[in-house]
Structure 1
């Protein structure tokens, strides 16, 4: 494993959600049934691509999202996008990946942006937060499975990658360890920690409502360290089969570079095909280095999905 250092839609009413055991082993034991990927509405586009509202089935839930499709017949490889944290109360469908959506579509990739449960037009799951958002990983796994079984003529279901940003990067790692082989390759930008206790302590622990509920349900990381390890993707990195390309800024003010380095070290110990690219001085959104990163994404996708 190499490390490079460089300079610089209205929501649906509640539906019965598939129960998610708040541990990776519980999620591994679960059955997954992503299916029925449908285009619901044409949303215009540019001379290079068209934009569409989509839905697919994730277990018992319907998940909404946005698809960008290159103009032409295809078939085109697909990149599923797992977005970072945006308050579900203000989130709008397809939010958080504008530059990636545009670049992918202009360069011959269909992008499928997953809204997640409880976001935009997706069905509601009241247990999503208490289950440490493993339901989001379920939605990402099922998005991949829905692509794999899709009969849409412009989709090449044999060429499929996953790209996660910030919280979505953490969700991507969960998906990779829970259901290896759904994707052919994975990319993360500024991912959250692969140790769930880090994320809980950083964002949720001092939320007086959710933090107290989580500790009351499972105990704190100090009280129940073994259980918290079972909620962490890092504990199960030996299961990963996909090559991974990771990007992180050394001055990320939200997701500490130490988290990326710890994830990288754990992947190295597990013998995985992964590369961490560090951008010296870059913050969470990596505005300056993004152009370098997307060139690397281009080469990575060409290598692992084919031209």
Structure 2
């Protein structure tokens, strides 16, 4: 009898230990990471400079929505085009912009223009480029300036502040690829003009496309990403808290070096003319000095004009700066 009881107890103990072990094993299975589940989606990788350079750039008809102004020298139009800013076959969005077409018998050369920062609530189509665009149009150049997503009559921008930034590149790439739909264009001359953050857009597009578009840059933002954003965070209502928080998340998943224009300057092929005011309080003169030095080291065709006592908008030397820009564009006409 004792023998039987002993055998029964041993059996029960082993059964209990087996149950405990099985339960522990199952719990480990449930808590161990599934290799497939830990692979993070990185949807913004497609906007890295190298990846955009390999992307299939769409084209879209540039449509005239409204005639805004007409005079003896040119006509101003509200334009729009639709495209998928993610380049992934998803929902198309509309981007509006301002186009000036010279009066007279064409065809005409074309300048794509990019503005600097303007508050979304105050922005109107053409702000930041209008004055320069009208000057160029008077001289016989078509000008096209996109508003970008989230501005004026354009559709809503992306939910991510960084994707919104990167989609200024896809907007620009699509627009340049769509100028064939502008019947007054001469089909051979495309120039770029950018001011402030618009200069950053122009430089990045030159790197992505590796094309030789002659380009004029006024006080361009040319520091590495994301420093080029963080530098201005004290101007935001929350002193940059949102941007820093979102940047921290971004850096967990992405290598910021892949998105920084300073790492791809060797891909720039076209001639560049740089303009900088010496009392610019938005883009330090040292930034443009450094950019010019790097471009010269890479043996890129660059000319640099400084305007003593001029501010971020090159006032009071605006007239001289716009004339110098016009001379540069005419020099590089085909």
TM-score band, normalised by shorter chain: 0.7 to 0.9
The equivalent residue for 1:4 is: none
The equivalent residue for 1:193 is: 222
CA spacing shift, 1:123–1:281, aligned 2, 3 Å: same
Trace 1:71-220 onto structure 2 (pairs within 5 A): 71-127=103-159, 129-131=161-163, 133-147=165-179, 149-150=180-181, 152-181=182-211, 184-204=213-233, 206-218=239-251
Which residues of structure 2 form unaligned runs of 5+? 1-42, 85-91
User: How far apart are 1:81 and its partner, in Å?
Assistant: 0.8
User: How far apart are 1:210 and its partner, in Å?
Assistant: 2.3
CA spacing shift, 1:210–1:101, aligned 2, 3 Å: same
Asked if 1:289 is matched to 2:317, the reply is yes
Trace 1:6-25 onto structure 2 (pairs within 5 A): 21-25=46-50
Query: Where is the helix percentage greater, Structure 1 or Structure 2?
Result: 2
CA spacing shift, 1:286–1:90, aligned 2, 3 Å: same
Are the counterparts in 1 of residues 77 and 99 from structure 2 also a CA contact under 8 Å? yes
Superposed CA deviations along residues 132-173 of structure 1, whole A, max 9, x for unmatched, are 7121122122211111x22x3321121110101111011111
CA spacing shift, 1:201–1:219, aligned 2, 3 Å: farther
Query: Where is the strand percentage greater, Structure 1 or Structure 2?
Result: 1
The equivalent residue for 1:246 is: 274
Instruction: Give the TM-score, by structure 2 length.
Output: 0.78
The equivalent residue for 1:8 is: none
Are the counterparts in 1 of residues 206 and 213 from structure 2 also a CA contact under 8 Å? no
CA RMSD of aligned residues (A): 2.2
Superposed CA deviations along residues 18-67 of structure 1, whole A, max 9, x for unmatched, are 96635322332332113211111111222211111111234333211011
Aligned length: 281
For the pair shown, the structure with the greater C-alpha radius of gyration is 2
User: How far apart are 1:114 and its partner, in Å?
Assistant: 1.0
Which residues of structure 1 form unaligned runs of 5+? 1-17
Asked if 1:299 is matched to 2:332, the reply is no
User: How far apart are 1:72 and its partner, in Å?
Assistant: 1.4
User: Structure 1: how far apart are the matches of 2:159 and 2:189?
Assistant: 33
Are the counterparts in 1 of residues 73 and 102 from structure 2 also a CA contact under 8 Å? yes
Asked if 1:230 is matched to 2:258, the reply is yes
